[in-house]
Copies of this chain bind each other. A is one copy, B any other.
Amino acid sequence: MSPGRRLPDLLRRYLPILSWGAEYNRRTAINDLVVAVIVTVMLIPQSLAYAMLAGLPPQVGLYASMAPLLLYAIFGTSRTLAVGPVAVASLMTAAAAGAIAAQGTPEYLGAAVALALISGLLLIAMGVMRLGFLANFLSHPVISGFITASGIQIAASQLAPVLGIAAGGHNLLDLLTDLWRNVGETNLHTAAIGFATLAFLFLVRSRLKPLLLAMGLGARAADTLVKVAPAMAIVATTVAVWAFSLADRGVEIVGVVPQGLPRITLPPLDPALWLSILVPALLIPIVGYVESISVALTLAAKRRQRVDPDQELIALGAANVGSAVSGGFPVTGGFSRSVVNFDAGAETPAAGAFTAVGIALATLFLTPLLFYLPKATLAATIIVAVLTLVDLGALKRTWIYSRADFAAMAATILVTLAVGIEAGLIVGVSLSVFLHLYRTSKPHVATVGQVPGTEHFRNVLRHEVVTDPQILSMRVDESLYFPNARFLEDTINQAVADNPAVRHVILVCPAVNSIDASALESLEAINSRLEDGGITLHLSEVKGPVMDQLKRSHFLEELTGQVHLTQYDAVASINSELAQRTLEAQRSSSSLS
């Protein structure tokens, strides 16, 4: 490759906009504009609601829905992913910032903004260093359990604004205790608005869509109408509060939302603050990335498009940094907004950029209209949205499929609800890594014998095979690495202690894909221990790459026996050696007599 071409290639890799932007035309632009109008209508209430869930002023939700969309349009590889505030990340932000300061203080807001900045920088670093595999540490049972628990926790937390009371807590137990204590102070007007909105939204979801379909409306149009329903609820309840002066009767309203675009500012760069939010700042982007990449892959597959997981880290990172410098909080690719974007027919990330413009216009001109918007309505929209995240059936399916995975999922749910969201994630990840290592720590080891009349060797417990009491052949059905290295030592030690006649041990290795330094040490220990006991160790059917690696150690020089190409060769060569010895022994005894 000529040096002159390298820079554009690199640019194209890190700036996917250069690829789709070159083909952009008037038709696509008009299409993307129409999509942006629909998505904007859906995003305004969602942004306000998730800001409230995160314990932040409503405009922060709007701020977090502008710059991120623009930056994702430049750096993102998915054509249809829509980034912005989402439920789980908002809950995590509230938990992390709440540990630093009280809601409503500048420190709280500062912590939320700093979370977005650190998350963003971390994601970019992971993307540049191609560390996307880190997200794999969140196994599916853990992420599924975590999202279910988060959904329950969020729904419960939003009962308080629906009832017009105060209640909080870092876990479900604290929250329910608080709710129970304060339920007597319920504001009936607020509760009326809250429950009416809940009922409306549930009905729209369960009845309106089938009705619209029956009336001959297309599935996509029906879906879009359902997604716009929260906006309708917001208009209706805002008008009701204004018309009947319900704010004077104790209904909490959004109040003044500062008009105008966010100022670009540097987020707080206090090292003590950064250190104190480091753990959530590590967890939020990873959870967000897992959610985002799975949405992106799902949508891309429908149109056979590519998504580059490493570039997605950079794009999501840029979106978060953008959110931070424009006064927003952590964002990620959201499922529902991306699906609306996709279903409405978005063709390029420009639809996202146009949506950002839509939100900016709303922030400039519509915020006075939000003055009378009751918080109970926002809470109700959150509850309806997050209950779709709760999937308790997954517990049963996972139980049937795998007990280890069930344990990881159940532990994540229980600890998240009983202790808190960070503890739940950490316990879940640790347990799933632990169970994985446990599973691989006891590999299947079979003693094998020869199938009579063939060159095949099979498990002595399952087949009629021939064995020689002086030769012990053991097949290991797993790569050899530290979780099972000592197990191999124990297993061979026991087998040899149980078979006093054994003079040769053959390790049959067709399933061994690698041998790490721990396993090498164990093999050396096995070799020298067997030698002390007068037994020769052989290997057979060692794969090429494994043999190459063994050649870089002293093991093959120390090995008392040979490495044989096939198990058949191994047994044949040892048998001929044993026969030779017996012959020599007979000769020497006959010459003595």
User: What residues of chain A have their CB less than 8 Å away from a CB belonging to chain B?
Assistant: 133, 135-137, 139-141, 144, 293-294, 297-298, 300-307, 309, 397-398, 400-402, 404-406, 409, 432-433, 436-439, 441-442, 477-478, 481-487, 489-490, 493-494, 496-497, 500, 513-514, 516-518, 520-522, 525, 529-530, 532-533, 549, 552-554
A525 lies within 8 A of B136 (CB):
no
Give Cα A88 to B291, complex, Å: 45
> Could you give 30 example pairs across A and B, Cβ below 8 Å?
A133-B487, A135-B486, A136-B437, A136-B441, A136-B483, A139-B516, A140-B520, A140-B521, A144-B521, A293-B486, A297-B489, A297-B493, A297-B529, A302-B532, A304-B496, A304-B500, A306-B493, A306-B494, A306-B497, A397-B554, A398-B517, A401-B517, A401-B520, A401-B553, A406-B517, A432-B482, A433-B433, A433-B437, A477-B513, A478-B513
In angstroms, Cα B300 to Cα A494, docked, is 10
The residues of B that contact A478 with a CB separation of less than 8 Å are 513
With most chain B CB atoms within 10 A of its CB, the pick from A144, A297, A520 is: A297
CA distance A532 to B406 in the complex (A): 29
The residue from B139, B297, B402 contacting A525, defined by CB atoms under 8 A apart: B297
Contact residues in B for A293 (Cβ distance below 8 Å): 486
Additional 5 contacts, C-beta under 8 A, given A133-B487, A144-B521: A136-B485, A140-B485, A302-B529, A302-B533, A304-B496
Contact of A517 with B133 in the complex, beta carbons under 8 Å: no
Do B438 and A298 touch (CB < 8 A)?
Answer: no
Bound-state Cα–Cα, A478 to B592, Å = 58
Question: Which residues on the B side are within 8 Å of A487 (C-beta)?
Answer: 133, 136
In the bound complex, CA of A292 to CA of B38 (Å): 69
B residues near A553, Cβ cutoff 8 Å:
397, 400-401
Q: A301-B529, A304-B497, A533-B301 are in contact. Are A136 and B486 (CB under 8 A)?
A: yes
A522: B residues at CB distance < 8 A: 140
User: Is B532 touching A301 in the complex (CB atoms < 8 A)?
Assistant: yes
Give the residues in chain B near A477, CB-CB below 8 Å. Answer: 513
**In the assembled complex, which residues on chain B have CB atoms less than 8 Å from the CB atom of A521?**
140, 144
Question: Cα distance A497–B497 when bound, in Å?
Answer: 56
Which residues of chain B are near A552, meaning CB under 8 Å? Answer: 400-401
Contacts of A304 in B (CB 8 A): 496-497, 500, 533
User: Within 8 Å CB of A136, what residues of B?
Assistant: 437, 441, 482-487
A-B complex: 8 closest residue pairs judged by Cβ atoms: A301-B529, A139-B482, A405-B517, A140-B518, A302-B532, A140-B521, A133-B441, A306-B497
- Which of A307, A493, A500, A522 has the largest count of B CB atoms less than 10 A from its CB? A493
Q: Copies of this chain, how many?
A: 2
How far is A144 from B485 in the complex, measured between Cα atoms in Å?
Answer: 15
Nearest B-chain residue to A405, judged by Cβ: B517
Contact B307 A442 (CB under 8 A): no
Complex Cα–Cα for A522 and B136 (A): 12
How far, in whole Å, are A490 and B297 apart by their CA atoms in the complex?
8
CB nearest neighbor in B for A298: B529
A514 CA to B444 CA, complexed, in Å: 12
CB distance from A383 to the nearest CB of B (A): 26
Q: State the CA gap A487–B487 with chains docked (Å).
A: 29
A517–B137 Cα gap in the complex (Å)? 14
Q: Which of B300, B436, B493, B494 contacts A481 (CB 8 A)?
A: B436
**A530 and chain B: residue at smallest CB distance:** B301
Residue with the greatest number of chain B CB neighbours at <10 A, chosen from A136, A397, A483, A522 = A136
Instruction: Give A499 Cβ to nearest chain B Cβ, in Å.
Output: 10
Q: Write out the residue numbers on chain B whose beta carbons fall within 8 Å of the beta carbon of A482.
A: 136-137, 139-140, 432, 436
Chain B residues whose CB sits within 8 angstroms of the CB of A409 once the complex forms: 517
**Residue from A137, A144, A401, A549 having most chain B Cβ neighbours under 10 A:** A401
Give the docked Cα–Cα distance between A433 and B436 (Å).
11
A518 touches B133 (CB 8 A): no
Nearest B residue to A489 via CB reads B297
Are B302 and A517 in contact, with the CB atoms below 8 A? no
Query: Which chain B residues lie closer than 8 Å to A402 at the CB level?
Result: 516-517, 549
CB distance from A269 to the nearest CB of B (A): 26
> Could you tell me if B140 and A517 are in contact, using CB atoms closer than 8 angstroms?
yes
Is A401 touching B441 in the complex (CB atoms < 8 A)? no
| B133 and A438 contact, CB distance less than 8 A | yes
CA distance A297 to B489 in the complex (A): 8
Task: Give complex CA distance A486, B482 in Å.
Answer: 24
Instruction: Establish whether residues A307 and B485, one from each chain, have CB atoms under 8 Å apart when the complex forms.
Output: no
Q: What is the CA–CA distance of A522 and B138 in the complex, to the nearest angstrom?
A: 13
> Smallest CB–CB gap between A349 and chain B, Å?
17
CB closest chain-B residue, reference A502: B304
List the B residue with the shortest CB-CB distance to A484.
Answer: B136
Chain B positions within 8 Å of A137 at CB level: 437, 482-483
Whole-angstrom CA separation of A497 from B306 in the bound complex: 6
CB distance from A242 to the nearest CB of B (A): 45
What CA separation (Å) do A401 and B481 show in the bound complex? 13
* Min C-beta distance of A399 to chain B, whole Å: 10
- A493 CB to closest chain B CB (Å) equals 6
Give A517's nearest chain B residue, CB to CB: B405
